[in-house]
Amino acid sequence: MLLNAPLALILCFGLQFWPAHLVPLWVMTNMLLFSFAAGVLTYRLVEKVQFRVERYWGIGGAMLLVFAHAVIGPRSFSGWHLGSIEALRVNLGAMDNLGLLAQHSLETTGAAVLVAVLACNPIRLLQAAPLRMLGQISYSVYVAHIPALILVAAAVSLVTSDPVIRLALMVGITVPLSVAVATTVHLVVEKPGMGLGRKLQTAVLGLSSFSPRDVRQTVDTAEGRRDLQSYAGPGGYSADDASAKTAGRATTPG
C-alpha cells in the first residue's frame, strides 16, 4: 500500500495537466487530486511508517509557499478582483496556464511539509479543544466552504463595490457559515455514517475495530486454551504442567 502511494502522487500530479479540468461549479477537480494524494502520503509516512520530520524541514516548506505566492502567484492571478464571481470564473478558466499549475503544486508540497513538521513536533496551541474540533469537521468544512463562498460573494457584490469591504464581509460571513454547516453535517451525517460503517464491519467480517495485532493476540489466546485442554486430558499432563508448558511456548522468541 505504501509503495502505491508515491505512484498515486505522481499520477495525480500528471492529471493536473489534463485539459478536462473544470466542472460547472468551477471546481478544480484535477488539481485537487494532487492535494488529496499528497495529504494521504503525508499521513502514511508520519503516522504509519513513523517517518521523523525535523523542525528545520519547515523552513523549506515555508519557502515553497512564499515562492509560490510572491513569485508565481501574481503572474497567474494578475486580473483578480476580490468578490467578483466573473473574475473568479475567468481566472479559473485560465487553467492551461502552467504558472497556475506550478503555483498549486508548490503550495501543496510546501503545505504537506509544514503539516508533517507540526505532526512530528506538536505545538501546544494546536492541541486546544477548538482547533481539535475544527480538525474533526475539517472535511465537512472543505465541502461546505465552496458553495458558501460562491453564495456570499454573489450577495456581497450587490451590497458594495469596494474590494476591501467585500473581502471583509466575505471572510466575516463565509467562515462562520462554513463552520456552522460543517458542524451540522458532521453530527447528522458523518458520525452516524461512521457508526453504521463499524456495525457493517462487525456484521460482515465478524470483527469490530480490531487491529492486526489485536487479531493475532486473540488467535494466540485461543490456541493457548486449546493446548491447555489437550495437554490436561486423560493420561496427559497435569493442569499445572500444561499451563507452564503453554506459557513457556508463548515466551519463546519467534
Residues near 65 by beta carbon (within 8 Å), at least 6 away in sequence: 106, 107, 110, 111, 114
- C-alpha grid cell, residue 114: 509544514
Q: Can you tell me the distance from the alpha carbon of 109 to that of 65, in angstroms, rounded to the nearest whole number?
A: 8
| pLDDT for the residue 23 | 43
47 and 9 within one domain: yes
Please identify, among 103, 121, 139, the residue that sits at the C-terminal boundary of a domain: 121
Q: Which residues constitute the domain of residue 224?
A: 212-250
**104, 91 Cβ separation under 8 angstroms:** no
pLDDT of residue 218: 56
Q: Report, as ranges of residue numbers, the positions in the chain whose pLDDT lies below 70.
A: 1-31, 71-100, 206-254
Assess whether 187 and 217 both reside in one domain: no
Last residue of a domain, one of 94, 121, 148: 121
HSE (side-chain half, CA atoms, 13 Å) at 203: 6
Q: Are both 173 and 241 inside the same structural domain? A: no
User: Could you give the count of Cα atoms lying within 13 Å of 43 in the half-sphere of its Cβ?
Assistant: 7
- The answer to whether residues 3 and 61 belong to one domain is yes
Report the distance separating Cα 228 and Cα 238, nearest Å. 9
pLDDT tens column, 128-149: 888 888 888 988 898 888 889 8
- Domain shared by 177 and 233, yes or no: no
100 with 189, same domain: the answer is: no
Q: Both 5 and 110 in a single domain?
A: yes
Rounded Cα distance between 64 and 73, Å, is 12
The pLDDT of residue 125 is: 80
pLDDT of residue 99: 65
Interval 28-81: pLDDT, tens: 556 677 777 888 888 888 877 777 888 888 888 888 888 877 766 554 444 444
Question: Which residues lie closer than 8 Å to 139 by C-beta, 6 or more apart?
Answer: 190
- Same domain membership, residue 100 and residue 82: yes
Same domain, 62 and 47: yes
